[in-house]
Amino acid sequence: MTARSPLFFEGTEMPTAGWWEALWPDPAGVLAAVGIRPGMEVIDLCSGDGWFTLQIAKIARHVTAIDIDPALLEVARHRLNDSGAANCDFVAGDAYELATLAPRPADLVFMANAFHGVPNRLRLSSAVRAALKPAGRFAVVNWHPRPREETKILGEPRGPKTELRMSADETTAAIEAGGLERTRLIEVPPYHYAAVFVRPSA
């Protein structure tokens, strides 16, 4: 599966240069901010090469990494194996199908750097809702809607094209339409925010 797949979300290619580590020096801090806790069942949706997945595995009871690109899942598998993490499943598939791809309902679905490319946001947020336990959380980490030329990392403009970037209000409206409620909005410097949603219990 490559970026040419019709299922591939626009502008969500994993970076090839080494700037991801410069942008995300503290993935565990981001996860703590969005509320990951020991004992949780977590889905890392659009998990890429596992930069966040590894830190999830260090905290959660279990994590399912879902990505449409099996080659990236292999990179993630090696990353977690090298660190001795054995509490992760790696599942190749389309994010819309997460409720059937994940083995169990989740306490937390984490989705970083991918929601901006989802063409059918209602379908995605409804699918996340179906994959969550009652009172489960959906945490979305998104680029702020700043012009791409302003979001420089290691001296170069980085990230998805300007037109794809979503405000926190746009993200919230799209996800609440799927039956989730926003509980928190967190600043994630230098260029991101995290919005956290809950599946209502009733």
Give the residues lining the site for ligand SAM (CB under 6 A): 7-9, 12, 14, 46-48, 51-52, 67-69, 72, 94-95, 112-114
Minimum distance between the CB of residue 200 and ligand SAM, rounded to whole angstroms?
26
Minimum distance between the CB of residue 145 and ligand SAM, rounded to whole angstroms?
17
Q: Is there a contact between 65 and 53 (Cβ–Cβ < 8 Å)?
A: yes
Q: DSSP for 171-192, please give it.
A: HHHHHHTTT-EEEEEEEETTTE
Of 95 and 196, CB closest to ligand SAM: 95
Nearest to 79 by CA among 30, 133, 27, 4: 27
Of 123 and 135, CB closest to ligand SAM: 123
Closest-by-Cβ residue to ligand SAM is: 48
Of 51 and 90, CB closest to ligand SAM: 51
Q: Is there a contact between 63 and 42 (Cβ–Cβ < 8 Å)?
A: yes
Minimum distance between the CB of residue 35 and ligand SAM, rounded to whole angstroms?
17
Sign for the pseudo-dihedral over CA of 187, 178, 99, 68 = negative
Of 40 and 139, CB closest to ligand SAM: 139
In the numeric block, the tokens 């926190």 are attached to 168
Minimum distance between the CB of residue 189 and ligand SAM, rounded to whole angstroms?
16
Of 20 and 37, CB closest to ligand SAM: 20
The angle that helices 121-131 and 168-176 make with each other, rounded to 10 degrees, is 60
Q: Residue 105 corresponds to which tokens in the numbers above?
A: 């309902």
Minimum distance between the CB of residue 51 and ligand SAM, rounded to whole angstroms?
4
